[in-house]
């Protein structure tokens, strides 16, 4: 081996290369950890140049800054993003570096729509459920009431928007929407009436008006519309239960059918509602 000049030269070149690489890495490590690259500025801004209404420096210091580690080069941007998204009221955060010692954090806040369930959680206009100061949300808007099974938040929001459009035609506004585990919808209106839209199983909601109530049941042959008044103290509860004769055809509720339901209610009770 020691007489093999080519082998010795190759071995020496490999060792030299390894040493050079180690020295280069050590130099880079020393450079990256110089004080000039310590993060000294974290700039917070609202998404789309908007104003942050709920997130303030005190909340950020107590919830996010303590979780930040590293400098300009070594800070993990995913960890930084997760730290800021753990701050109350923050829906989404994006982070980018700015040379040589700055992080720019863009925050999107939740916009409250109502409460969710009985645990004091807040329901946003995007269909997200989050925990924050309920009093702050109440100062921003009048909170509606929502509830439903776990994982149904987006569906509840979509149906609320449908109900809002439907009842707008008769000058009523939903103030509470409950989606039960039995696929029934309970909607409380601003006139004190509570409407139960019967069991809806694996259905899709169509906002398109139909020519007659029979067309509101996709594929079914007939429909019964029942109105059952009950005294509830604060107002009246009306069950508008759609019962298709042919199961398991899915129910498709329409604005025409809801208007018909309320016409029947008005004819029966008149101005007492």
Q: Residue 142: what pLDDT?
A: 94
Whether 166 and 245 share a structural domain: yes
Q: Residue 226: what pLDDT?
A: 40
Q: Residue 15: what pLDDT?
A: 81
The model's pLDDT over 106-154, given as tens digits with 9 standing for 90+, comes to 999 999 999 999 999 999 999 999 999 999 999 989 999 999 999 999 9
Whether 93 and 180 share a structural domain: no
Interatomic CA distance for residues 39 and 44, integer angstroms: 14
Whether 164 and 97 share a structural domain: no
Q: Residue 40: what pLDDT?
A: 86
Interatomic CA distance for residues 32 and 3, integer angstroms: 44
CATH code (residue 49): 3.10.20.310
Q: Residue 209: what pLDDT?
A: 34
Backbone torsions φ then ψ of 63, nearest 5 degrees = -115, -25
End-of-domain residue from the set 58, 88, 109: 109
End-of-domain residue from the set 54, 87, 109: 109
Q: 33 lies in a domain?
A: no
Q: 17 lies in a domain?
A: no
End-of-domain residue from the set 83, 109, 135: 109
Whether 101 and 201 share a structural domain: no
Nearest to 91 by CA among 49, 54, 37: 54
Q: Residue 7: what pLDDT?
A: 73
Which range marks the domain in which residue 54 is found? 39-109
Q: Residue 264: what pLDDT?
A: 58
Q: 29 lies in a domain?
A: no
Q: Nearest 5 degrees, angle CA 260-CA 266-CA 271?
A: 155
Q: 130 lies in a domain?
A: no
Whether 157 and 94 share a structural domain: no
Q: Give 193-259 as a 3 state SS string.
A: CEEEECCCCCCCCCCCCCCCHHHHCCCCCCEEEEEEEEECCCCEEEEEEEEECCCCCCCCCCHHHHH
Q: Residue 151: what pLDDT?
A: 92
Q: 117 lies in a domain?
A: no
Q: 32 lies in a domain?
A: no
Q: 94 lies in a domain?
A: yes
Whether 47 and 98 share a structural domain: yes
Q: 211 lies in a domain?
A: yes
Whether 152 and 100 share a structural domain: no
pTM score over 0.75? no
The model's pLDDT over 85-101, given as tens digits with 9 standing for 90+, comes to 999 999 999 999 998 88
Q: Residue 233: what pLDDT?
A: 40
Q: Residue 38: what pLDDT?
A: 82
Listed as ranges, residues in the chain with pLDDT below 50 are 202-237, 241-254, 271-273
């Amino acid at each position: 081996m020691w007489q093999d000049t080519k082998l010795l030269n190759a071995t020496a070149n490999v060792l030299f290369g390894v040493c050079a690489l180690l020295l280069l890495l050590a130099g880079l490590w020393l450079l990256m950890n110089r004080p000039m690259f310590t993060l000294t500025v974290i700039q917070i801004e609202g998404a789309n140049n908007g104003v942050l209404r709920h997130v303030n420096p005190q909340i950020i210091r107590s919830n996010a800054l303590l979780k930040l580690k590293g400098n300009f080069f070594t800070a993990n941007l995913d960890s930084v993003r997760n730290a800021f998204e753990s701050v109350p009221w923050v829906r989404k955060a994006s982070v980018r570096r700015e040379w040589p010692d700055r992080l720019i954090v863009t925050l999107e806040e939740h916009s409250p729509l109502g409460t969710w369930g009985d645990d004091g959680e807040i329901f946003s206009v995007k269909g997200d459920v989050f925990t924050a100061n309920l009093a702050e949300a109440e100062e921003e808007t009048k909170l509606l009431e929502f509830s439903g099974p776990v994982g149904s938040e987006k569906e509840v929001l979509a149906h609320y928007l449908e109900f809002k459009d439907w009842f707008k035609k008769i000058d009523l506004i939903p103030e509470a929407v409950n989606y039960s585990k039995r696929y029934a919808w309970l909607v409380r209106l601003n006139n004190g009436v509570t409407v139960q839209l019967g069991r809806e199983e694996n259905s899709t909601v169509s906002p398109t008006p139909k020519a007659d109530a029979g067309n509101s049941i996709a594929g079914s042959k007939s429909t019964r519309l029942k109105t059952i008044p009950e005294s509830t103290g604060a107002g009246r509860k009306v069950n508008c239960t759609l019962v298709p004769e042919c199961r398991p055809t899915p129910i498709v509720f329409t604005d025409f059918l809801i208007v018909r339901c309320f016409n029947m209610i008005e004819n029966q009770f008149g101005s007492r509602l």
